[in-house]
Structure 1
Amino acid sequence: MRRSTINYLVDLLLLLAMLGMLWTGVVIRFVLPAGSGRHALLLWGKGRHEWGDVHYQLVFVTIGLVVLHVGLHWDWVCDVTGRLFVRGERKAEKRRPGLRIACGVAFLAGVSALFGLGVWTALLRVDELAKTSSPGYHGNRPDRVTLDDHDTPGDHEEGDAGHGKGAGQGWGSQTLAEIEKQYGIPVAVLLKRLRVPETVSAETRLARLRQEYGISMSTVRDVIHQYLEQMERAPAVDKP
Protein backbone atom coordinates (compact mmCIF):
# COMPACT_ATOMS: atom_id res chain seq x y z
CA MET A 1 0.00 0.00 0.00
CA ARG A 2 1.32 3.43 -0.92
CA ARG A 3 2.39 5.82 1.81
CA SER A 4 -0.09 8.46 0.64
CA THR A 5 -2.94 5.94 0.92
CA ILE A 6 -1.94 5.06 4.47
CA ASN A 7 -1.80 8.75 5.41
CA TYR A 8 -5.23 9.28 3.90
CA LEU A 9 -6.78 6.36 5.80
CA VAL A 10 -5.24 7.43 9.11
CA ASP A 11 -6.43 11.00 8.66
CA LEU A 12 -9.90 9.77 7.70
CA LEU A 13 -10.12 7.59 10.82
CA LEU A 14 -8.88 10.50 12.93
CA LEU A 15 -11.58 12.75 11.48
CA LEU A 16 -14.27 10.15 12.21
CA ALA A 17 -13.02 9.70 15.78
CA MET A 18 -13.07 13.46 16.39
CA LEU A 19 -16.56 13.74 14.91
CA GLY A 20 -17.62 10.86 17.17
CA MET A 21 -16.28 12.72 20.21
CA LEU A 22 -18.14 15.85 19.15
CA TRP A 23 -21.38 13.94 18.54
CA THR A 24 -21.31 12.05 21.85
CA GLY A 25 -20.46 15.29 23.63
CA VAL A 26 -23.57 16.92 22.17
CA VAL A 27 -25.64 13.88 23.20
CA ILE A 28 -24.35 14.02 26.78
CA ARG A 29 -24.77 17.78 27.08
CA PHE A 30 -28.04 18.46 25.28
CA VAL A 31 -29.89 15.24 24.36
CA LEU A 32 -29.38 13.37 27.65
CA PRO A 33 -28.45 16.09 30.17
CA ALA A 34 -27.81 15.52 33.85
CA GLY A 35 -30.94 14.19 35.52
CA SER A 36 -32.29 12.51 32.38
CA GLY A 37 -31.68 9.10 33.94
CA ARG A 38 -34.41 9.87 36.46
CA HIS A 39 -36.92 9.71 33.63
CA ALA A 40 -35.26 6.64 32.07
CA LEU A 41 -34.38 8.49 28.86
CA LEU A 42 -32.41 6.33 26.45
CA LEU A 43 -30.91 6.86 23.02
CA TRP A 44 -30.60 3.62 21.05
CA GLY A 45 -30.77 1.63 24.27
CA LYS A 46 -28.04 3.61 26.03
CA GLY A 47 -28.40 6.11 28.83
CA ARG A 48 -26.31 9.17 29.62
CA HIS A 49 -23.70 7.18 31.50
CA GLU A 50 -23.26 4.62 28.70
CA TRP A 51 -22.81 7.36 26.11
CA GLY A 52 -20.27 8.93 28.45
CA ASP A 53 -18.32 5.67 28.32
CA VAL A 54 -18.41 5.76 24.51
CA HIS A 55 -17.15 9.35 24.57
CA TYR A 56 -14.34 8.34 26.95
CA GLN A 57 -13.29 5.44 24.72
CA LEU A 58 -13.25 7.68 21.66
CA VAL A 59 -10.78 9.93 23.47
CA PHE A 60 -8.23 7.11 23.62
CA VAL A 61 -8.91 6.14 20.00
CA THR A 62 -8.27 9.74 18.98
CA ILE A 63 -5.05 9.93 20.99
CA GLY A 64 -3.79 6.73 19.40
CA LEU A 65 -4.57 7.99 15.90
CA VAL A 66 -2.86 11.32 16.63
CA VAL A 67 0.28 9.47 17.73
CA LEU A 68 0.15 7.37 14.56
CA HIS A 69 -0.38 10.49 12.46
CA VAL A 70 2.65 12.19 14.01
CA GLY A 71 4.71 9.05 13.45
CA LEU A 72 3.83 8.97 9.76
CA HIS A 73 4.82 12.62 9.42
CA TRP A 74 7.82 12.47 11.73
CA ASP A 75 10.34 13.72 9.18
CA TRP A 76 8.15 16.70 8.40
CA VAL A 77 7.71 17.50 12.12
CA CYS A 78 11.46 17.41 12.69
CA ASP A 79 12.14 19.51 9.60
CA VAL A 80 9.62 22.26 10.38
CA THR A 81 10.54 22.37 14.07
CA GLY A 82 14.21 22.75 13.21
CA ARG A 83 13.51 25.56 10.77
CA LEU A 84 11.33 27.45 13.22
CA PHE A 85 13.39 27.17 16.39
CA VAL A 86 17.01 26.71 15.30
CA ARG A 87 18.75 29.66 13.66
CA GLY A 88 20.48 28.75 10.44
CA GLU A 89 18.98 25.26 10.34
CA ARG A 90 17.56 25.85 6.86
CA LYS A 91 21.09 26.17 5.49
CA ALA A 92 22.70 23.48 7.60
CA GLU A 93 19.91 20.88 7.58
CA LYS A 94 21.77 18.63 5.14
CA ARG A 95 24.92 18.71 7.23
CA ARG A 96 23.23 18.22 10.61
CA PRO A 97 20.34 15.77 10.26
CA GLY A 98 20.74 14.76 13.91
CA LEU A 99 19.84 18.27 14.98
CA ARG A 100 16.54 18.10 13.12
CA ILE A 101 15.67 14.85 14.88
CA ALA A 102 16.62 16.36 18.23
CA CYS A 103 14.31 19.30 17.55
CA GLY A 104 11.45 16.94 16.76
CA VAL A 105 12.05 14.93 19.92
CA ALA A 106 12.25 18.13 21.98
CA PHE A 107 8.97 19.34 20.50
CA LEU A 108 7.25 16.04 21.23
CA ALA A 109 8.65 16.00 24.77
CA GLY A 110 7.39 19.54 25.33
CA VAL A 111 3.88 18.66 24.22
CA SER A 112 3.89 15.53 26.39
CA ALA A 113 5.15 17.52 29.38
CA LEU A 114 2.39 20.09 28.88
CA PHE A 115 -0.24 17.35 28.81
CA GLY A 116 1.28 15.68 31.87
CA LEU A 117 1.28 19.00 33.72
CA GLY A 118 -2.42 19.41 33.02
CA VAL A 119 -3.20 15.92 34.32
CA TRP A 120 -1.02 16.43 37.39
CA THR A 121 -2.70 19.77 38.16
CA ALA A 122 -6.14 18.16 37.91
CA LEU A 123 -5.13 15.28 40.19
CA LEU A 124 -3.61 17.72 42.67
CA ARG A 125 -6.80 19.74 42.75
CA VAL A 126 -8.90 16.62 43.36
CA ASP A 127 -6.55 15.63 46.16
CA GLU A 128 -6.93 19.05 47.77
CA LEU A 129 -10.71 18.82 47.59
CA ALA A 130 -10.58 15.33 49.08
CA LYS A 131 -8.54 16.62 52.01
CA THR A 132 -11.02 19.39 52.74
CA SER A 133 -13.90 16.89 52.89
CA SER A 134 -12.10 14.09 54.70
CA PRO A 135 -12.91 13.02 58.28
CA GLY A 136 -11.41 15.33 60.87
CA TYR A 137 -11.34 18.35 58.59
CA HIS A 138 -12.89 21.43 60.18
CA GLY A 139 -13.69 23.74 57.31
CA ASN A 140 -16.63 25.97 56.54
CA ARG A 141 -18.67 23.54 54.41
CA PRO A 142 -17.88 19.85 54.94
CA ASP A 143 -19.52 17.26 52.72
CA ARG A 144 -20.07 14.65 55.41
CA VAL A 145 -22.56 14.97 58.26
CA THR A 146 -24.77 12.52 60.10
CA LEU A 147 -28.38 12.12 61.10
CA ASP A 148 -27.76 11.31 64.73
CA ASP A 149 -30.77 12.05 66.94
CA HIS A 150 -32.86 12.43 63.76
CA ASP A 151 -31.08 15.62 62.72
CA THR A 152 -30.80 16.24 59.01
CA PRO A 153 -27.45 16.77 57.36
CA GLY A 154 -28.64 20.21 56.39
CA ASP A 155 -28.83 21.13 60.10
CA HIS A 156 -25.06 20.78 60.31
CA GLU A 157 -23.90 22.06 56.94
CA GLU A 158 -22.38 25.17 58.41
CA GLY A 159 -20.71 23.39 61.31
CA ASP A 160 -17.95 20.90 61.76
CA ALA A 161 -17.80 17.47 60.20
CA GLY A 162 -20.19 14.92 61.63
CA HIS A 163 -19.47 12.26 64.15
CA GLY A 164 -21.03 9.09 65.47
CA LYS A 165 -22.55 6.39 63.31
CA GLY A 166 -21.71 8.06 60.05
CA ALA A 167 -18.21 9.14 60.96
CA GLY A 168 -15.39 8.10 58.72
CA GLN A 169 -17.17 8.17 55.40
CA GLY A 170 -18.17 10.93 53.00
CA TRP A 171 -21.75 11.09 51.81
CA GLY A 172 -20.87 10.70 48.15
CA SER A 173 -18.90 7.52 48.82
CA GLN A 174 -21.70 5.80 50.75
CA THR A 175 -23.78 3.11 49.06
CA LEU A 176 -27.54 2.75 49.25
CA ALA A 177 -27.09 -0.37 51.37
CA GLU A 178 -24.94 1.58 53.83
CA ILE A 179 -27.58 4.31 54.02
CA GLU A 180 -30.21 1.67 54.80
CA LYS A 181 -28.02 0.15 57.51
CA GLN A 182 -27.17 3.51 59.02
CA TYR A 183 -30.56 5.23 59.00
CA GLY A 184 -33.02 2.36 58.63
CA ILE A 185 -34.62 3.54 55.39
CA PRO A 186 -35.06 0.58 53.00
CA VAL A 187 -33.28 0.86 49.68
CA ALA A 188 -36.55 0.32 47.80
CA VAL A 189 -38.19 3.18 49.69
CA LEU A 190 -35.23 5.49 49.09
CA LEU A 191 -35.20 4.73 45.37
CA LYS A 192 -38.95 5.27 45.11
CA ARG A 193 -38.86 8.63 46.84
CA LEU A 194 -35.88 9.74 44.78
CA ARG A 195 -37.78 8.66 41.64
CA VAL A 196 -34.94 6.42 40.58
CA PRO A 197 -35.51 3.11 38.73
CA GLU A 198 -35.91 0.21 41.15
CA THR A 199 -33.33 -1.74 39.14
CA VAL A 200 -30.52 0.37 40.62
CA SER A 201 -28.23 -1.82 42.72
CA ALA A 202 -28.07 -1.41 46.48
CA GLU A 203 -24.28 -1.15 46.10
CA THR A 204 -24.61 2.01 44.01
CA ARG A 205 -22.89 5.00 45.59
CA LEU A 206 -24.66 8.32 46.13
CA ALA A 207 -22.08 10.05 43.96
CA ARG A 208 -23.11 7.77 41.10
CA LEU A 209 -26.76 8.74 41.57
CA ARG A 210 -25.77 12.38 41.49
CA GLN A 211 -23.84 11.84 38.27
CA GLU A 212 -26.42 9.73 36.43
CA TYR A 213 -29.72 11.12 37.70
CA GLY A 214 -28.83 14.64 38.82
CA ILE A 215 -29.83 13.97 42.43
CA SER A 216 -28.20 16.35 44.89
CA MET A 217 -27.05 15.34 48.34
CA SER A 218 -29.52 17.79 49.86
CA THR A 219 -32.36 15.88 48.17
CA VAL A 220 -31.14 12.63 49.72
CA ARG A 221 -30.93 14.34 53.11
CA ASP A 222 -34.49 15.63 52.79
CA VAL A 223 -35.84 12.20 51.88
CA ILE A 224 -34.09 10.56 54.84
CA HIS A 225 -35.26 13.32 57.18
CA GLN A 226 -38.87 12.98 56.06
CA TYR A 227 -38.74 9.20 56.47
CA LEU A 228 -37.30 9.48 59.98
CA GLU A 229 -39.96 12.00 60.96
CA GLN A 230 -42.70 9.68 59.72
CA MET A 231 -41.25 6.73 61.58
CA GLU A 232 -40.94 8.84 64.73
CA ARG A 233 -44.58 9.88 64.56
CA ALA A 234 -45.79 6.35 63.80
CA PRO A 235 -43.00 3.91 64.72
CA ALA A 236 -45.27 0.89 64.46
CA VAL A 237 -46.47 1.64 60.93
CA ASP A 238 -44.37 1.10 57.83
CA LYS A 239 -44.79 4.13 55.61
CA PRO A 240 -42.76 3.71 52.43
Structure 2
Amino acid sequence: MNKARLNYWLDWVIGLAFALSTATGVVLWLAGSGGYQGGRNPAFQTTVLGISRWTWSDLHIWVSLVLVAGGVAHFLLHWDWIVCMTKRLLRPSRHRDQEVCPIS
Protein backbone atom coordinates (compact mmCIF):
# COMPACT_ATOMS: atom_id res chain seq x y z
CA MET A 1 0.00 0.00 0.00
CA ASN A 2 1.50 3.33 -0.98
CA LYS A 3 1.77 6.21 1.49
CA ALA A 4 -1.00 8.32 -0.09
CA ARG A 5 -3.51 5.46 0.12
CA LEU A 6 -2.48 4.72 3.70
CA ASN A 7 -2.97 8.39 4.62
CA TYR A 8 -6.39 8.37 2.95
CA TRP A 9 -7.65 5.38 4.94
CA LEU A 10 -6.03 6.59 8.15
CA ASP A 11 -7.81 9.93 7.75
CA TRP A 12 -11.12 8.08 7.33
CA VAL A 13 -10.48 6.06 10.50
CA ILE A 14 -9.55 9.21 12.42
CA GLY A 15 -12.65 11.04 11.15
CA LEU A 16 -14.97 8.15 12.01
CA ALA A 17 -13.39 7.75 15.46
CA PHE A 18 -13.78 11.50 16.05
CA ALA A 19 -17.47 11.39 15.09
CA LEU A 20 -18.15 8.33 17.28
CA SER A 21 -16.20 9.77 20.20
CA THR A 22 -18.18 12.99 19.93
CA ALA A 23 -21.50 11.14 19.70
CA THR A 24 -20.77 8.88 22.66
CA GLY A 25 -19.50 11.89 24.63
CA VAL A 26 -22.78 13.72 24.02
CA VAL A 27 -24.76 10.64 25.10
CA LEU A 28 -22.71 10.38 28.30
CA TRP A 29 -23.10 14.09 28.95
CA LEU A 30 -26.88 13.93 28.51
CA ALA A 31 -27.22 10.69 30.51
CA GLY A 32 -25.59 12.28 33.55
CA SER A 33 -23.70 10.60 36.31
CA GLY A 34 -24.41 7.02 37.28
CA GLY A 35 -24.18 7.97 40.95
CA TYR A 36 -21.89 6.53 43.57
CA GLN A 37 -21.91 2.78 42.87
CA GLY A 38 -25.46 3.13 41.61
CA GLY A 39 -26.87 4.01 45.00
CA ARG A 40 -30.09 6.05 45.27
CA ASN A 41 -29.82 7.41 41.76
CA PRO A 42 -33.12 6.74 39.99
CA ALA A 43 -31.40 7.10 36.61
CA PHE A 44 -28.82 4.40 37.38
CA GLN A 45 -30.31 1.87 34.96
CA THR A 46 -30.90 4.46 32.23
CA THR A 47 -30.37 3.20 28.71
CA VAL A 48 -30.05 5.12 25.46
CA LEU A 49 -30.96 3.22 22.29
CA GLY A 50 -31.09 0.08 24.42
CA ILE A 51 -27.46 0.48 25.53
CA SER A 52 -26.57 1.04 29.19
CA ARG A 53 -24.56 4.02 30.36
CA TRP A 54 -21.61 1.77 31.23
CA THR A 55 -21.52 0.29 27.74
CA TRP A 56 -21.61 3.82 26.30
CA SER A 57 -18.71 4.69 28.57
CA ASP A 58 -16.69 1.66 27.44
CA LEU A 59 -17.45 2.44 23.79
CA HIS A 60 -16.39 6.06 24.33
CA ILE A 61 -13.08 5.02 25.88
CA TRP A 62 -12.19 2.50 23.15
CA VAL A 63 -13.17 4.78 20.28
CA SER A 64 -11.17 7.60 21.86
CA LEU A 65 -8.13 5.32 22.12
CA VAL A 66 -8.49 4.52 18.40
CA LEU A 67 -8.65 8.27 17.75
CA VAL A 68 -5.46 8.90 19.75
CA ALA A 69 -3.63 5.99 18.08
CA GLY A 70 -4.73 7.28 14.67
CA GLY A 71 -3.51 10.76 15.55
CA VAL A 72 -0.11 9.41 16.59
CA ALA A 73 0.15 7.34 13.39
CA HIS A 74 -0.86 10.38 11.32
CA PHE A 75 1.80 12.47 13.05
CA LEU A 76 4.46 9.81 12.41
CA LEU A 77 3.49 9.41 8.75
CA HIS A 78 3.91 13.16 8.26
CA TRP A 79 7.11 13.47 10.30
CA ASP A 80 9.33 14.29 7.29
CA TRP A 81 6.98 17.09 6.26
CA ILE A 82 6.86 18.45 9.84
CA VAL A 83 10.66 18.51 10.07
CA CYS A 84 10.99 20.13 6.63
CA MET A 85 8.41 22.84 7.40
CA THR A 86 9.96 23.56 10.81
CA LYS A 87 13.38 24.02 9.23
CA ARG A 88 11.88 26.13 6.47
CA LEU A 89 10.03 28.42 8.89
CA LEU A 90 13.04 28.87 11.16
CA ARG A 91 15.37 29.90 8.32
CA PRO A 92 15.82 33.53 7.33
CA SER A 93 13.07 34.70 4.97
CA ARG A 94 15.36 34.95 1.92
CA HIS A 95 15.86 31.14 1.92
CA ARG A 96 12.27 30.08 2.64
CA ASP A 97 11.02 29.92 -0.92
CA GLN A 98 13.94 27.84 -2.18
CA GLU A 99 12.94 24.58 -0.51
CA VAL A 100 9.72 22.71 -1.20
CA CYS A 101 8.51 20.24 1.40
CA PRO A 102 6.90 17.02 0.16
CA ILE A 103 3.29 16.64 1.27
CA SER A 104 3.18 12.89 1.73
Return the TM-score normalized by structure 1. Answer: 0.34
Mapping of 1:135-214 within 5 angstroms?
none
Q: Deviations over 1:101-145 (max 9, x none)?
A: xxxxxxxxxxxxxxxxxxxxxxxxxxxxxxxxxxxxxxxxxxxxx
Larger relative contact order, structure 1 or 2 (CA cutoff 8 Å, min sep 6): 2
Q: Secondary structure at the match of 1:38?
A: coil
Residue type at the aligned position of 2:32: P
Aligned CA distance change for structure 1 residues 35 and 88 (closer, same or farther; 3 Å): same
Matched, 1:64 2:69: yes
Please name the residue that 1:21 is paired with.
21
Gaps of 5+ in 2: 36-40, 99-104
Please name the residue that 1:81 is paired with.
86
Aligned CA distance change for structure 1 residues 53 and 90 (closer, same or farther; 3 Å): farther
Mapping of 1:213-224 within 5 angstroms?
none
Aligned CA distance change for structure 1 residues 89 and 62 (closer, same or farther; 3 Å): farther
Taking the aligned partners of 2:14 and 2:83, their CA distance within structure 1 comes to 21
Percent sequence identity is 32
Offset at residue 48 of structure 1 (A) = 1.6
The answer as to whether partners of 1:42 and 1:48 remain within 8 angstroms in 2 is yes
The answer as to whether partners of 1:28 and 1:51 remain within 8 angstroms in 2 is yes
Offset at residue 87 of structure 1 (A) = 2.6
Aligned CA distance change for structure 1 residues 75 and 89 (closer, same or farther; 3 Å): farther
Taking the aligned partners of 1:72 and 1:54, their CA distance within structure 2 comes to 27
Matched, 1:48 2:47: no
Taking the aligned partners of 2:9 and 2:47, their CA distance within structure 1 comes to 33
Taking the aligned partners of 1:88 and 1:49, their CA distance within structure 2 comes to 55
Aligned CA distance change for structure 1 residues 43 and 70 (closer, same or farther; 3 Å): same
RMSD (Å) for aligned C-alpha atoms: 2.6
Residue type at the aligned position of 1:33: G
Please name the residue that 2:12 is paired with.
12
Q: Which among 31, 35, 42 is matched to residue 38 of structure 1?
A: 42
Return the TM-score normalized by structure 2. Answer: 0.71
Q: Deviations over 1:34-71 (max 9, x none)?
A: 35973422134432222112112222111110111011
Please name the residue that 2:2 is paired with.
2
Offset at residue 88 of structure 1 (A) = 3.1
Aligned CA distance change for structure 1 residues 90 and 51 (closer, same or farther; 3 Å): farther
Offset at residue 75 of structure 1 (A) = 1.0
The answer as to whether partners of 1:83 and 1:90 remain within 8 angstroms in 2 is no
